[in-house]
Amino acid sequence: MSPAPSPIVRRRRLGTELRRLRETAGLTGDQVIERVGWASASKLSRLENGRSRPALSDVQDLLEVYAVDGPERDELIAIAREAGDTRAWLRSYPVMTQRQRAYAELEAGCADISEYAPVIVPGLLQTPEYARVRIVSARPLAGDHPDDPVNPDDAETEVAARMARQSLLSRGDDPPRYVAVLEEPALTGRSGPPDVLRAQLQHLRRVAALPNVTLRLLPPSAVVADWYLPETGFSIYRFAEPEDPSAVAIEALDADVVITDEAVLDRYTQVFEWLCAAARSPEESLEWITEAVWSSGRRPAADGRGGRPPAPAQRRRRPRPDDDGI
């Protein structure tokens, strides 16, 4: 079974198609809103930029103005329906912050996810205890969002929502390929209490055993593409539908940025390739995690072998960049 389409990506694809149809028809935004009877051009702008959930009646009105019929109309109506669908599994966890819902919608329908995490273990890999530490520690800096249904003090609801998102990595029907590059300091003392970090490391060992998951650790001494330094963490999403635009998400303190521009995506893809080349291999990364669990005072429960694991060897690769970064 194919993964369910991502609503947020469907909105962007629908917006691109509606803009193309308007331009092909030789109409300005003002001319369109006059014909459909809308009060302002901002509604059309939000639809064309994929920033709002489309009402099916609005899309039907626009397709009539653009004289679209037949199979093309049927396809766009189907995309519009998917663009407004939060998916059944999301409806099982309706209480989400706006930021969590945005990421959940991006992850829906993904065929391939690539993440670079310099400071924090990615949400799709977190244990409930680690997620709770992250959520509670960020509370003093959390801004109010009028549309958020989550009580700002209800950490458990956010933890449950984050755990629900993780189900896509182990779903039986064609799970996405997931590759993560984590900086090694993200797994050390500053990021949480010792017992929480130990459990998180053990969880990473289990997740790394999934056939669709690849984990790579980046040592502090690793040289990335002649000393290139990524400015922030990022996630790249590619989708099962080839015509759905790929996206890169950049998480910041107060707002997240989602970009579908192909040139920007190409640059982030290049950076991710540099990071993978400089990082430990998946096998060496698993050895490092196993050693870290051993050193933290508890032998890995899933290992079953005695003796102290050897420290992984350091590797360095220095692919030369074509440009100086993002």
Q: Is the residue at 39 inside a domain? A: yes
* Percent of the chain topping pLDDT 70: 81
Q: Is the residue at 53 inside a domain? A: yes
Same domain, 54 and 163: no
Q: Is the residue at 118 inside a domain? A: yes
Q: Is the residue at 316 inside a domain? A: no
Q: Is the residue at 320 inside a domain? A: no
Two tokens, residue 221: 């001494």
27 contact partners, CB below 8 Å, separation of at least 6: 35, 65, 66
pLDDT at 202: 96
Q: Is the pTM of this model over 0.75?
A: no
Same domain, 122 and 259: yes
- pLDDT tens figures, 27-42: 999 999 999 999 888 8
Same domain, 119 and 248: yes
- pLDDT tens figures, 125-170: 999 999 999 988 887 776 655 555 555 557 888 898 889 889 889 8
Same domain, 118 and 188: yes
- pLDDT tens figures, 252-287: 766 678 888 899 999 999 999 999 999 999 999 999
Strand arrangement, sheet containing 247-251? 213-218, 177-183, 110-117, 234-239, 247-251, 256-259
Q: What is the span of the domain harbouring residue 14?
A: 7-83
Same domain, 181 and 280: yes
- Region 50-74 average pLDDT: 90
Q: Which among 281, 270, 175 is positioned nearest to 230, based on CA atoms?
A: 270
Domains of the chain: total: 2
Higher pLDDT, 259 or 179: 179
Q: Which among 156, 178, 161, 155 is positioned nearest to 90, based on CA atoms?
A: 161
The CATH number of the domain holding residue 62 is: 1.10.260.40
pLDDT band at 49 (very low <50, low <70, confident <90, very high): confident
pLDDT at 68: 93
Q: How far apart are CA 138 and CA 132, in angstroms?
A: 10
Same domain, 120 and 60: no
